[in-house]
Amino acid sequence: MAEQEKIKSEVPLLIPRSCESTLTNMTGSWRFLMPRYEEKTAPCSTACPAGEDIGRIEMLTTQGLFKEAWETILRENPFPAVCGRVCYHPCENRCNRGEFDDAIAIHSIERFLADAASRNEFKPSIEKLPSKKQKIAVVGAGPSGLAAAYFLTLLGYICDVFEAMPEAGGVLRWGIPLYRLPISVLRNEIAHIESVGVRIHTGKCISKSFLDEAHNQYSAVFMGCGHSRTRGLNIPGENMDGLEDGIAFLGKVRQGETPSFDGSVAVIGGGNTAVDVARSVLRLGGKSILVYRRRRQDMPAFDQEIHMALEEGVEIRELLAPVKVEKNGREYTLTVQPMRVAGTDTDGRAAIEPDNEMTQEIIVQRIFKAIGEEAAEDWYNPPGEKEKSLTLKNSVLIPRSQGAVLVIGGDLTNQTKSVVHAVASGKEAAIALDILFQEGSEAVESRLKDYVVGNGPSLSMEVYMAGPRSEREKHIVEYDEINTDYFELAPRVTQPRLLIEERRKTFEEIDLKISANVAIREAERCFNCGLCNQCDNCYLFCPDLSIQKDDSSQGRHINYDYCKGCGICVVECPRNAMVLEEEGT
């Protein structure tokens, strides 16, 4: 030891030792490209007529934040439990994951969240603006009317909803069969709408004179009376006893009647009503034959509904146009003209013409007409040229100088007659009215454009109310912009369903529940296109340690003192929530 000490004192340690960090080198000055966090728009959310923030809903579901995920739906749509069941989910057709393996089962997750909220009795906390002085009347408590009232209430207006039937819900209550939408589910959602402050008056049928007197009490009237009268076939024999309206039949069944059927039943039409009637008849013991004048692929009914109808045993006879109906004792003879495809119609469906002179006869026990519905009263419809009006995407706004402002929406104006389009209509009407009251009717059209999701036409109430979503770029993320190296192939959840044998016998709901685990796993498949889900790739791969965590909502920021602008963070962001720009732009 002594010797070591001696060496130490005699031989000085002449090694240069660094004692500073490199933090004095501001390497940010090298940068000519600048990365930046920038959230963008997911394609699903633009495809959703209600503009739901789907990418975020799935992200919150992944994190187990079911209440927050459910509230995120409620900001854009008061009917998650209904739409999770009956919506034809156009969102899933635009899902980028579809190009990778299979689209996310967005509707299954939506339904799961709504069911979880109901099971856990969540009370939503949704932003509501301070009260405003205007009162608004809503005619019809169907999906469009209730949506309009809900969104107007969130915007601070007082809303009275008038409904002719003894219970609210419109087509959801009196049209859509129970096997697609159980009654408790609907009642639960209507209760939520009432809990934000919407006042629903049932059993109040509104007459035309109401419109003229409304301005005494109301600043605006929203007409969402829907289409409830079956259109005529214009063929001999159609008005004879025993030929029933499809929509009226569905209403009776929903009122609790259970007529029984025996033998063949013809349902004329190709829309959702026709399919619902055919499937209901089947459940009541009949054999359903759907008679449609175009081809199966031209049917306006939603694909999935047609598919399930076929599974259950509904027979579809396509390219047959009804010519006349005759009664033979207890049976009916439906004479049909075979048709053939002759080019394409303006709406993309097949144009048809008679195939030959020969007609066919279909002998059945009962016949239902379901070729589409129209407004029950002519004055429900938009006035056309008669009055100055603004035709919006899903509603018509009539800023009358005398009397209350009139908005017509829902099925009365919508091109696509679906529940989610009705919600879109209610939302559009609510935002349009708010703009009209504050800035006048001239501002409506141009200002509405500011609140579209992506390139529209879906509108976002969260964006309108200047929530965090309003900071997102409108750019719609494409599949090529996703870094798929961070995703693994995973099968889409298969929706558990009642067995076909059971489905034929009962009006029990067909689609069964999925568990929380399954819902989370499905939500994890979501790319969350354009949204930061805090994956930390940017932070991890930064060679310059210039991404620093903080308490902001982003959770991190880029320290431009040191960022050399290499751009790795942007390329390694799996979901395109960053952007690389030239310095100084």
Partner 1 sequence: MELNVLDEEYMTSGHVACPGCGAAIAMRFFLKAVGDKTIIVLPACCWSIIAGPYPQSTVKVPVIHSAFETGGAVASGVRAALDMKGDTETTVVTWAGDGGTFDIGFQALSGAVERNEDFIYVCYDNEAYMNTGIQRSSSTPYGAWTTTTPGDEWKKLRKKNIVEVLVAHRIPYAATANIAFPEDLVRKAKKAQSIKGSKFLHIFASCPTGWRIPSESSIKIARIAVQTNIFPLYEVEDGVKYTINYKPKEFPVSEYFKLQGRFQHLTDEDMKHIQKMVDEDWALLLRKAGERP
Which residues in this chain contact partner 1 in the complex, by CB under 8 A? 16-27, 30-31, 33, 485, 535-537, 540-541, 543-546, 549, 559, 561-562, 564-568, 570-572, 580
Q: Is it true that the peptide bond before 399 is cis, omega within 30 degrees of 0?
A: no
* Residues facing 160 on adjacent strands: 137, 199
How far apart CA 136 and CA 147 sit, in angstroms, is: 13
What minimum distance in Å lies between the beta carbon of 570 and partner 1? 6
Task: Say what angle helices 183-195 and 143-154 make with each other, to 10 degrees.
Answer: 30
Indicate the DSSP class of residue 374.
Answer: E
What minimum distance in Å lies between the beta carbon of 542 and partner 1? 8
Report CA-CA distances (Å) from 238 to 201, 334, 360, 374, 504.
36, 10, 17, 17, 29
Q: What token pair was written down for 180?
A: 């697609």
Between 28 and 530, CB nearer to partner 1: 28
Between 11 and 19, CB nearer to partner 1: 19
What minimum distance in Å lies between the beta carbon of 572 and partner 1? 5
Indicate the DSSP class of residue 524.
Answer: H
Tell me the one-letter amino acid at 446: S
What minimum distance in Å lies between the beta carbon of 191 and partner 1? 41
What minimum distance in Å lies between the beta carbon of 538 and partner 1? 11
- Range 97-136 burial, b when 16+ CB lie within 10 A, else e: bbebebbbbbbbbbbbbbbbbbeeebeeebeeeeebebbb
**Nearby residues of 539 by Cβ (< 8 Å), 6 or more positions away:** 547, 549, 556
**Phi, then psi, of 396 in degrees rounded to 5:** -125, 125
What minimum distance in Å lies between the beta carbon of 7 and partner 1? 13
What minimum distance in Å lies between the beta carbon of 565 and partner 1? 6
Between 220 and 577, CB nearer to partner 1: 577
Please say whether the beta carbons of 55 and 528 come within 8 A. Answer: yes
**Phi, then psi, of 209 in degrees rounded to 5:** -65, -25
Q: What token pair was written down for 31?
A: 């940068």
Between 27 and 381, CB nearer to partner 1: 27
Between 202 and 559, CB nearer to partner 1: 559
Task: Say what angle helices 516-524 and 54-62 make with each other, to 10 degrees.
Answer: 120
CA-only gyration radius of the chain, Å: 30
What minimum distance in Å lies between the beta carbon of 472 and partner 1? 23
Between 284 and 563, CB nearer to partner 1: 563
* Cβ neighbours of 462 (radius 10 Å): 21
Indicate the DSSP class of residue 504.
Answer: T
How far apart CA 27 and CA 31 sit, in angstroms, is: 8
What minimum distance in Å lies between the beta carbon of 179 and partner 1? 44
What minimum distance in Å lies between the beta carbon of 313 and partner 1? 44
How far apart CA 453 and CA 53 sit, in angstroms, is: 9
What minimum distance in Å lies between the beta carbon of 176 and partner 1? 44
**Phi, then psi, of 243 in degrees rounded to 5:** -95, 120
What minimum distance in Å lies between the beta carbon of 2 and partner 1? 16
- Stated as kind and residue range, the H or E segment containing 199 is strand 199-202
Q: What is the DSSP string of 155-215?
A: TT-EEEEEESSSSS-THHHHTS-TTTS-HHHHHHHHHHHHHTT-EEEET-PPPHHHHHHGG
Between 14 and 358, CB nearer to partner 1: 14
What minimum distance in Å lies between the beta carbon of 22 and partner 1? 4
Between 24 and 260, CB nearer to partner 1: 24
Between 238 and 572, CB nearer to partner 1: 572
Between 388 and 549, CB nearer to partner 1: 549
Between 443 and 545, CB nearer to partner 1: 545
* Residues facing 202 on adjacent strands: 163
Between 261 and 487, CB nearer to partner 1: 487
- Range 245-275 burial, b when 16+ CB lie within 10 A, else e: bbbbbbbebbeeeeeebeebbbbbbbbbbbb
Between 17 and 330, CB nearer to partner 1: 17
What minimum distance in Å lies between the beta carbon of 547 and partner 1? 10
How far apart CA 216 and CA 431 sit, in angstroms, is: 23
Between 176 and 578, CB nearer to partner 1: 578
- Range 501-519 burial, b when 16+ CB lie within 10 A, else e: eebeeebebbbeebeeebb
